[in-house]
Amino acid sequence: MRSKTQGFILCVSLLIAVATSVVIDLTHSRNETRSRGFASAGSMSFLISAWLEGSFREVDYVVRNVADVIQPTDLNPALTDSERRNHINAFLLAKHHSLPHSAEIGILDPRCRLIYALYSPIGWDASHRDYCKTLQANPQQDHLTTNLLWSNLDKFEVLHLRPLTDREGHLTGIAGAGLDLSFFQRWLDRVHVGPYDTLAIIDERGRIIARHMTNLPQGQVAPGSELDKTLLSHFDLTGSRSGTRSFVAVLAGRPALVSLQHLDNQPMWVLVGLDEATLMHEWHIKAIQFGLGLTLLTLLIILLIRNMSLAEERAALLYQQANTDPMTRLPNRRHFLETAAREMARANRCNSRTGFILLDIDNFKDINDRHGHQAGDRAIIAVADACMAISRDSDTPGRLGGDEFVILLSDTDENGCETLAWRLLECIRCASLLNEEGEPITLTASIGIAVSEPGEGLPETPMTRADRALYEAKRTGRDTVRLAARQHAMPVA
Q: What is the pLDDT of residues 302-314, one digit of tens each?
A: 676 677 777 778 8
Query: CATH second-level architecture of 333-483?
Result: 2-Layer Sandwich (3.30)
DSSP label at 436? T
Q: Where are the domains of the chain?
A: 17-56+184-323, 70-180, 333-483
Model confidence over 214-237: pLDDT tens digits?
Answer: 554 444 457 788 777 666 665 555
Mean pLDDT, rounded, of the chain: 84
pLDDT for 459: 92
The Cα 481–Cα 469 span in angstroms is 8
Tell me if 241 sits within 8 A of 174, measured CB to CB: no
Gyration radius from the chain CA atoms: 28
In this prediction, residue 174 has a pLDDT band, given cuts at 50, 70 and 90, of very high
List, in order, residues 6 or more apart from 344 with CB less than 8 Å away.
354, 452, 456, 457, 458, 459
CA 437 to chain centre: 35
407 beta partners? 357, 397
CATH for the stretch 17-56+184-323: 3.30.450.20
Residue 442, pLDDT > 60, answer: yes
In this prediction, residue 81 has a pLDDT band, given cuts at 50, 70 and 90, of confident
Alpha helices in 233-372 (DSSP H): 276-279, 281-288, 294-323, 333-349, 364-371
List, in order, residues 6 or more apart from 276 with CB less than 8 Å away.
34, 37, 248, 254, 255, 256, 257
171 beta partners? 165
Give me the sheet containing 355-361, strands edge to edge: 396-401, 404-409, 355-361, 445-451, 481-483
pLDDT for 7: 46
CA-wise closest residue to 202 among 224, 218, 180, 187: 224
Residue 489, pLDDT > 70, answer: no
How do strand 208-212 and strand 198-203 relate by DSSP bridges?
antiparallel
Tell me if 149 sits within 8 A of 73, measured CB to CB: no
What average pLDDT does the segment 272-300 reach? Answer: 76
Residue 456, pLDDT > 70, answer: yes
The Cα 477–Cα 469 span in angstroms is 13
Tell me if 179 sits within 8 A of 158, measured CB to CB: yes
CA 378 to chain centre: 23
Q: 123-132, 306-315, 377-386 — which is least confidently predicted?
A: 306-315
In this prediction, residue 466 has a pLDDT band, given cuts at 50, 70 and 90, of very high
CA-wise closest residue to 412 among 389, 390, 395, 397: 395
Residue 268, pLDDT > 60, answer: yes
pLDDT for 312: 76
pLDDT for 217: 43
What average pLDDT does the segment 75-89 reach? Answer: 79
In this prediction, residue 74 has a pLDDT band, given cuts at 50, 70 and 90, of confident
pLDDT for 492: 42
What average pLDDT does the segment 293-303 reach? Answer: 59
Identity of the amino acid at 233: S
Residue 351, pLDDT > 80, answer: yes
Q: What percent of the chain has pLDDT over 90?
A: 33
pLDDT for 491: 46
The Cα 387–Cα 383 span in angstroms is 6
Hey, which of 195-199, 298-302, 441-445 has the most confident mean pLDDT?
Answer: 441-445
Q: Please name the fold of domain 70-180.
A: Beta-Lactamase (3.30.450)
Examine domains 17-56+184-323 and 70-180 and report if their fold is the same.
yes
The Cα 257–Cα 273 span in angstroms is 5
DSSP label at 331? B
How do strand 481-483 and strand 445-451 relate by DSSP bridges?
parallel
